[in-house]
Amino acid sequence: MTHEPQFKEVFKTFNPADIAFIKSLLEDNGVVYYINNENVTSVGNLMFAEPMRVMVEDSQYESVKELLAQFQGSFGTFAPRDDGVVDDEEDQVKS
Protein backbone atom coordinates (compact mmCIF):
# COMPACT_ATOMS: atom_id res chain seq x y z
CA MET A 1 0.00 0.00 0.00
CA THR A 2 1.41 3.37 -1.04
CA HIS A 3 1.20 6.34 1.33
CA GLU A 4 -0.29 9.41 -0.37
CA PRO A 5 1.40 12.63 0.76
CA GLN A 6 -0.75 15.24 2.45
CA PHE A 7 -0.41 18.87 1.36
CA LYS A 8 -0.90 22.10 3.26
CA GLU A 9 -1.33 25.68 2.04
CA VAL A 10 1.71 27.81 2.79
CA PHE A 11 1.12 30.86 0.58
CA LYS A 12 -1.64 32.45 -1.46
CA THR A 13 -1.69 35.40 -3.81
CA PHE A 14 -3.33 36.90 -6.88
CA ASN A 15 0.10 37.98 -8.20
CA PRO A 16 1.60 35.65 -10.86
CA ALA A 17 5.06 37.21 -10.34
CA ASP A 18 5.02 36.07 -6.70
CA ILE A 19 4.12 32.56 -7.84
CA ALA A 20 6.96 32.50 -10.40
CA PHE A 21 9.48 33.56 -7.73
CA ILE A 22 8.20 31.05 -5.17
CA LYS A 23 8.15 28.19 -7.67
CA SER A 24 11.80 28.86 -8.50
CA LEU A 25 12.70 29.07 -4.81
CA LEU A 26 10.90 25.83 -3.96
CA GLU A 27 12.36 23.94 -6.92
CA ASP A 28 15.89 25.10 -6.02
CA ASN A 29 15.33 23.74 -2.49
CA GLY A 30 13.84 20.38 -3.51
CA VAL A 31 10.38 21.11 -2.11
CA VAL A 32 7.45 18.98 -3.22
CA TYR A 33 4.64 21.39 -4.08
CA TYR A 34 1.80 22.23 -6.43
CA ILE A 35 -0.05 25.44 -7.24
CA ASN A 36 -3.81 25.32 -6.82
CA ASN A 37 -5.80 27.68 -9.11
CA GLU A 38 -2.67 28.66 -11.05
CA ASN A 39 -4.41 28.64 -14.42
CA VAL A 40 -7.82 29.95 -13.40
CA THR A 41 -7.08 33.03 -11.29
CA SER A 42 -7.48 35.37 -14.23
CA VAL A 43 -8.73 35.14 -17.77
CA GLY A 44 -8.13 38.21 -19.87
CA ASN A 45 -8.90 41.24 -17.72
CA LEU A 46 -11.20 39.34 -15.37
CA MET A 47 -10.05 38.50 -11.84
CA PHE A 48 -11.72 35.65 -10.03
CA ALA A 49 -12.29 35.54 -6.28
CA GLU A 50 -9.91 32.63 -5.69
CA PRO A 51 -6.19 33.32 -5.29
CA MET A 52 -3.43 30.97 -6.40
CA ARG A 53 -2.43 28.75 -3.48
CA VAL A 54 1.00 27.20 -2.97
CA MET A 55 0.54 23.75 -1.47
CA VAL A 56 3.51 21.90 0.08
CA GLU A 57 3.89 18.46 1.62
CA ASP A 58 3.04 18.43 5.32
CA SER A 59 6.52 17.18 6.14
CA GLN A 60 8.09 20.26 4.49
CA TYR A 61 5.60 22.87 5.71
CA GLU A 62 7.63 24.30 8.61
CA SER A 63 10.87 24.50 6.62
CA VAL A 64 9.07 26.21 3.73
CA LYS A 65 7.55 28.77 6.12
CA GLU A 66 11.06 29.55 7.35
CA LEU A 67 12.38 29.72 3.79
CA LEU A 68 9.65 32.18 2.75
CA ALA A 69 10.19 34.25 5.88
CA GLN A 70 13.79 34.85 4.76
CA PHE A 71 12.46 36.50 1.62
CA GLN A 72 9.65 38.50 3.20
CA GLY A 73 9.59 41.86 1.51
CA SER A 74 11.85 40.67 -1.32
CA PHE A 75 8.91 40.05 -3.62
CA GLY A 76 5.27 41.00 -3.69
CA THR A 77 3.71 42.11 -0.46
CA PHE A 78 3.32 38.85 1.41
CA ALA A 79 3.16 38.56 5.15
CA PRO A 80 2.49 35.62 7.50
CA ARG A 81 -1.02 35.22 8.87
CA ASP A 82 -1.71 34.18 12.45
CA ASP A 83 -2.30 30.59 11.31
CA GLY A 84 1.11 30.46 9.61
CA VAL A 85 -0.16 30.68 6.04
CA VAL A 86 1.54 33.42 4.05
CA ASP A 87 -0.82 35.79 2.21
CA ASP A 88 -0.11 38.71 0.00
CA GLU A 89 -1.55 41.91 1.51
CA GLU A 90 -3.92 42.32 -1.41
CA ASP A 91 -5.55 39.04 -0.44
CA GLN A 92 -5.66 39.97 3.25
CA VAL A 93 -7.64 43.09 2.41
CA LYS A 94 -10.16 41.07 0.39
CA SER A 95 -10.59 38.36 3.05
pTM of the full structure = 0.69
Per-residue pLDDT of the chain (95 residues; tens, 9 = 90+): 677 889 999 988 888 888 999 999 999 999 999 999 887 655 666 666 688 899 999 999 999 999 988 876 555 555 555 555 555 554 443 33
Residues 6+ apart with CB under 8 A from 90: 13, 14, 15, 77
pLDDT digit string, tens, across residues 53-65? 999 999 999 999 9
Report the alpha-carbon distance of residue 50 to residue 73 in Å, rounded.
23
pLDDT digit string, tens, across residues 64-78? 999 988 876 555 555
What topology does CATH give the domain 7-40+51-94?
Answer: Alpha-Beta Plaits (3.30.70)
